[in-house]
Structure 1
Amino acid sequence: MRIVLVGPPGAGKGTQAAYLAKNLAIPHISTGDLFRANISQGTDLGKKAKAFMDAGELVPDEVTIGMARDRMNQPDATGGFLLDGFPRNVSQAEALDEALKEDGVTLDAVLDLEVPEEEVVKRIAGRRICRNDSSHVFHVSYSAPKQEGVCDVCGGELYQRDDDSEATVRKRLEVYHTQTEPIIDYYKAQDLVVTIPALGKVEEVTERAMAALQGGK
């Protein structure tokens, strides 16, 4: 299956992408991984992307699309793939459609992870990270430390990252609504969108998504 995963920040896209890709036996292709791989390998596209990033500029769509297309044409993706974080806007979605058309394939589904906005704010703004080890992550509501502000694992100080503040989260949501959310209507016109309620345990959300994919829209 060839799938695009969309949803607001905090919807759990990365987690669901990993589970779904494993269950469907297809590669999980994320924009972040594409950039890191191309830059570390020194590909032509990676060099172009790095030049823009070093200059503090946005990487042009054609570079991102080129990376995605190269990855989708790798042998492990011949039977399908799951795109996470791409496309981010309608112009990228149109370019993706054109690239897939040229390669003689089409998307099978667009999974829209639906989470209420206030829940997104609560999920992200409630995160606390250990200063000693960023892999030690807590949440003031869902997985609170035994002692407020202190890491259960190593005793380090817990803090809120700047990009996890409520103001920053709401700004990220504005960007999502303005730039990325319109691709849902774009794909609805192609009858590809499957909306998945993303509240609940991770396994429950995965089960809903798998059931929707297997049972059709």
Structure 2
Amino acid sequence: MRIVLVGPPGAGKGTQAAYLAENLAIPHISTGDLFRANISQGTELGKQAKAYMDAGNLVPDEVTIGMAKDRMEQPDAANGFLLDGFPRNLAQAEALDGILQDADQKLDAVLDLEVPEEEVVKRISGRRMCRKDGKHIFHVEYSPSKTDGVCDICGGELYQREDDREDTVRKRLEVYHTETEPIIDYYKAQDLVVTIPALGKVDEVTQRAMAALEREAA
């Protein structure tokens, strides 16, 4: 299957993508991984992306599209893939259609993870990272540390990242509504969108998504 996963920041796309890709035996292709791989391998696209990022500028669509195209052409993606974070806007969605058409392929579904906006704000703004380790993550409401402000695992200080501040989260949501949400209507016109309520436990959301994909494939 060839699937696009969309949803606002904090909807759990990365978590769901990993589970779904494993269940479907297809590669999980995320924009973040594409950038890291191309930059670390020193590819021409990676060098271009790094130059823009080092200058504090957004990476142009054509660079991101090029990376995604290269990855989708790898042998492990011959029978399908799950795209997470791409396409991010209408220009990228149209480019993806062109790439697939050239390869005589098509998308099977676009999974839209639906989460109320205030829940997104609560999920992200409540995160606390361990300053010492940088990997341990807690949440003030959903998974609090035993001692306020202290990591249970290594004793490091817990802090709120700038990206997780409520005002920053709301700005990220504005960008999502402006740039990414229009692709949902674009794919609805192609009868590809399957909306998945993304509240609840991780495995419950995964089961909903798998059931929806099975219905689409039937």
Shared fold, TM over 0.5: yes
Counterpart of 1:122 in structure 2 is 122
Counterpart of 2:211 in structure 1 is 211
For residue 76 of structure 1, report the CA deviation from its aligned partner: 0.2
Listed one character per residue, the Cα deviations across residues 34-63 of structure 1 (whole Å, up to 9, x for unaligned) are 111111111111111112222222111111
Question: Which whole-Å CA distance do the structure 1 matches of 2:30 and 2:178 have between them?
Answer: 21
Task: Please say if 1:201 is aligned against 2:201.
Answer: yes
SS at match of 2:106: coil
Does the 8 A contact of 2:26 with 2:81 survive in 1? yes
Listed one character per residue, the Cα deviations across residues 63-106 of structure 1 (whole Å, up to 9, x for unaligned) are 11111011001000000000000000011100110111011101
Counterpart of 1:178 in structure 2 is 178
Listed one character per residue, the Cα deviations across residues 167-198 of structure 1 (whole Å, up to 9, x for unaligned) are 00000000000000000000000000000000
Counterpart of 1:190 in structure 2 is 190
Question: Which whole-Å CA distance do the structure 1 matches of 2:154 and 2:33 have between them?
Answer: 30
Matches within 5 A, 1:52-201: 52-201=52-201
SS at match of 1:29: strand
Question: Which whole-Å CA distance do the structure 2 matches of 1:49 and 1:155 have between them?
Answer: 37
Q: Which moved more, 1:45-54 or 1:3-12?
A: 45-54
Quick one: which amino acid aligns to residue 188 of structure 1?
K
Listed one character per residue, the Cα deviations across residues 140-160 of structure 1 (whole Å, up to 9, x for unaligned) are 110111111111112221111
For residue 139 of structure 1, report the CA deviation from its aligned partner: 0.5
Does the 8 A contact of 2:115 with 2:198 survive in 1? yes
Question: Which whole-Å CA distance do the structure 2 matches of 1:194 and 1:181 have between them?
Answer: 14
Does the 8 A contact of 2:109 with 2:216 survive in 1? no
Question: Which whole-Å CA distance do the structure 1 matches of 2:25 and 2:194 have between them?
Answer: 20
Structure 1 runs, 4 residues or longer, greater than 6 Å off: none
Quick one: which amino acid aligns to residue 152 of structure 1?
D
Quick one: which amino acid aligns to residue 120 of structure 1?
V
Question: Which whole-Å CA distance do the structure 1 matches of 2:88 and 2:201 have between them?
Answer: 26
Question: Which whole-Å CA distance do the structure 2 matches of 1:200 and 1:109 have between them?
Answer: 22
Superposed CA RMSD: 0.9
State the identity as a percent: 81
Q: How many pairs align?
A: 217
SS at match of 1:135: coil
Question: Which whole-Å CA distance do the structure 2 matches of 1:214 and 1:59 have between them?
Answer: 36
Question: Which whole-Å CA distance do the structure 1 matches of 2:157 and 2:42 have between them?
Answer: 38
Counterpart of 2:19 in structure 1 is 19
Question: Which whole-Å CA distance do the structure 2 matches of 1:135 and 1:63 have between them?
Answer: 29
Question: Which whole-Å CA distance do the structure 2 matches of 1:90 and 1:164 have between them?
Answer: 26
Counterpart of 2:35 in structure 1 is 35
Q: Which TM-score applies when normalising by structure 2?
A: 0.97
Q: Which TM-score applies when normalising by structure 1?
A: 0.98
Does the 8 A contact of 2:130 with 2:159 survive in 1? yes
Q: Which moved more, 1:142-151 or 1:197-206?
A: 142-151
Q: Which moved more, 1:54-63 or 1:178-187?
A: 54-63
